[in-house]
């Protein structure tokens, strides 16, 4: 059991090394020599991880082509919107739903500046 935990920990550290590499070529060499693609017998989770990495290799390496850009923030915003919709138990007024989303999603309010009352300075101020 301890050997399985140790091998899983090593595979996790190998994956962290891959994502910390500065270029696309370095992860390729790490992943071909690392333990994540050649797991030991008796650890089925590592075999499944190796198959997943092999089948998604190009998509995982695309992380380096985009400069580390992720769709995580967009997914987080979508999850927040769905959560607000569930909590609201069905909004009947679309404007109220929109305002609730703006309030919870951290959008800064763009309130217009009030119009000036005087067009010129008072006589005593000049």
- The residue with greater pLDDT, 78 or 98, is 78
Average pLDDT, the chain: 75
Share of the chain above pLDDT 70, in %: 75
pLDDT attached to residue 91: 74
DSSP state of 75: H
Write the CB contacts of 18 (distance below 8 Å, at least 6 apart in sequence). 27, 30, 31, 34, 60
pLDDT attached to residue 33: 45
- What are the tens digits of pLDDT across the range 23-68? 777 665 555 544 444 556 677 888 888 888 888 888 877 778 887 7
pLDDT confidence band for 126 (50 / 70 / 90): low
- The residue with greater pLDDT, 29 or 86, is 86
The encoded tokens of residue 1 equal 């059991």
String of DSSP letters for 91-124: -S-HHHHHHHHHHHTTPPP-PPPPPPS-SS--TT
pLDDT attached to residue 37: 47
The encoded tokens of residue 122 equal 């008072």
pLDDT attached to residue 118: 65
């Amino acid at each position: 059991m301890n050997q399985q935990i140790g091998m899983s920990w090593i595979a996790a550290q190998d994956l962290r090394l891959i994502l910390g590499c500065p270029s696309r070529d370095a992860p390729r060499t790490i992943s071909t020599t690392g333990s994540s693609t050649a797991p030991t017998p008796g650890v089925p989770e590592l075999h499944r991880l190796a198959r997943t990495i092999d089948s998604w290799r190009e998509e995982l390496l695309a992380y380096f082509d985009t400069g580390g850009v992720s769709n995580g923030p967009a997914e987080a915003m979508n999850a927040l919107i769905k959560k607000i919709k569930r909590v609201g138990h069905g909004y009947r007024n679309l404007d109220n739903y929109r305002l609730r989303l703006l309030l919870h999603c951290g959008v800064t309010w763009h309130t217009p500046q009030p119009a000036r009352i005087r067009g010129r300075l008072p006589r005593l101020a000049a």
